[in-house]
Amino acid sequence: MDLYPLFEWLDTSLLADISKAYGGTFAVIQMFHLMGMALMGGMVLVGDLRLLNILLKDLPSEMVIDNTHKWFGVGLTIMIMSGIFMSSAVAMKLYYNSMFAAKMAALATGIIFVYAIRKPLLAGDHTELNPWTLRIVAVTSIMIWFTVAASGRWIGFS
Amino acid sequence: MLNEILLSLARWLDSQSWSTQIHESIYLYSWIETTHVLSLMIFLGMLCVIDLRMLGWAFDKVPASTIANRLDKPMMIGFAIMLISGFLLYYAIPVRTTQSIWFRTKVILLILAGINAFLFRAKMQASASSWDLDPIPPKRIRVGAGLSLLLWSGVVITGRAIAYDWFDCRRELPYVMYWAAGCVDEMAAFQ
C-alpha cells in the first residue's frame, strides 16, 4: 500500500501551514515530543526493571505495572499528537526517509506489543507466570522503545 | 570580561584535534547526540516518576520516600551519561555553543533545577516522616515537584533550540541579543 497520498495530504494541511510558517511553534511542539518520550521511557523502564527484579523489588510488580501503564499511555499520546504535527512540517521529506519508516515500524510494533501482549499478559497475578516470560517481556519492551527513540533521533541525521 | 574568558576557553577547545574529529566524523557526533537523547529517557523518565508521586498523581499508595530513594540511583546514572555526552557535544562545537543564547539559558535553567532539587531533597528529608504515606503530599512539596518538571521542560526546549541559528552571532541582531549571547566581536563592531 502506497502511503504517498497521505503524506501529500499532510504536506498541504493546516498543520503543515502552521509548522512551516512558525519555526518557534515547531521547536515548542518538539519539546512536548521529547517530554512525552521521557515520560513514556521512564514508565517503560520502571515497569520493566521491576519485572526484571532490578528496581523497586520491595513493591508488588502488579502495582508497579498498574501505576506505570496509565502514564505510559499519557506519554504515548503526547508523543503521537506532537509527532503528527512535527511530521506535517517535513511530510514529503519523511516519505522518502528510510529511518522514519523504521521508526514507524518500531512504533507500530511497540503499540501492538504493549496493548495486545504485555498488558493482557500482566493483567493478572504475576506469580502465576513463568519468571522467564516476565524477563522476556521486559527485555523485549525495553529494546522496542529504545529502538523507537533512537530511530526517531536518526531521522534528523539521515 | 567573563564573555572574553569563555570565548578564549572555547577557542582553545576548538583548536584541539579531538574536537574537530568529533565534529567532522560521519557517525560519532550522531551517536553521541543519540546517547544524549536516550539518557534523557532514563534521567527525565525517573524524575517524572518521582515528581508525579510528589504531586500525588502516581504510586499514591507507596511511601513517597520509597519512590524517591529507589529511583535516585538509576536517575543519577542517567544524569551522569547525559552530562558526559552533553560535554562531548559542547566539546565538538565549542565556539558556536558558547555564543548560543539557548545554551546559556539552558545552563541557567540547569543551575536553577539543581538548586530546586537540592532544596526539594532537604525539605523532603526534614519532613517526610509526617506525610510519607499521604497519597497527596503537602503543598510545598507539590510546588517543588511542579517547579522541577517546569524547569526540566525548559532545559529540554532550550537544549533542542541550540540547533536553530535564529540568534547566532553572525546574524544581524539588536545589541542586547549580542550581549546576552556573548558575541564579543559583534558587540565591539556595534560600538
Per-residue pLDDT of chain B (191 residues), as tens digits, is: 888 999 999 999 999 999 999 999 988 999 999 999 999 889 999 999 999 999 999 999 999 999 999 999 999 999 999 999 999 999 999 999 999 999 999 999 999 999 999 998 888 888 777 888 889 999 989 999 999 999 999 999 899 889 888 889 989 889 999 999 999 888 888 77
Q: Is B69 on the interface with A (CB under 8 A)?
A: no
Q: What is the pLDDT of residue B103?
A: 96
Contact between B160 and A30 using a beta-carbon 8 Å cutoff: yes
Separation of alpha carbons A113 and A155, rounded Å: 23
Q: What is the pLDDT of residue B129?
A: 78
Chain B residue nearest residue A149, CA to CA: B38
Separation of alpha carbons B149 and B143, rounded Å: 10
Minimal Cα–Cα distance from B150 to chain A, Å?
Answer: 11
Residue A23 confidence (pLDDT) above 80: no
- What per-residue string of b and e applies to B117-139 under the rule 16 or more CB within 10 Å gives b? beebeeebeeebeebeeeeebee
Mean pLDDT of chain A: 92
Minimal Cα–Cα distance from B48 to chain A, Å?
Answer: 6
Q: Is B81 on the interface with A (CB under 8 A)?
A: no
Separation of alpha carbons B42 and B53, rounded Å: 17
Residues of A in contact with B164 (CB under 8 A): 23, 27
More confident residue, A27 or B191: A27
The residues, ordered by sequence, that sit 6+ positions from B98 with a Cβ below 8 Å of its Cβ are: B6, B7, B9, B10, B182
pLDDT confidence band for A73 (50 / 70 / 90): very high
For residue range A79-101, what is the model confidence (pLDDT) as tens digits? 999 999 999 988 998 999 999 99
Residue A1 confidence (pLDDT) above 90: no
Q: How many CB atoms lie within 10 A of CB A70?
A: 12
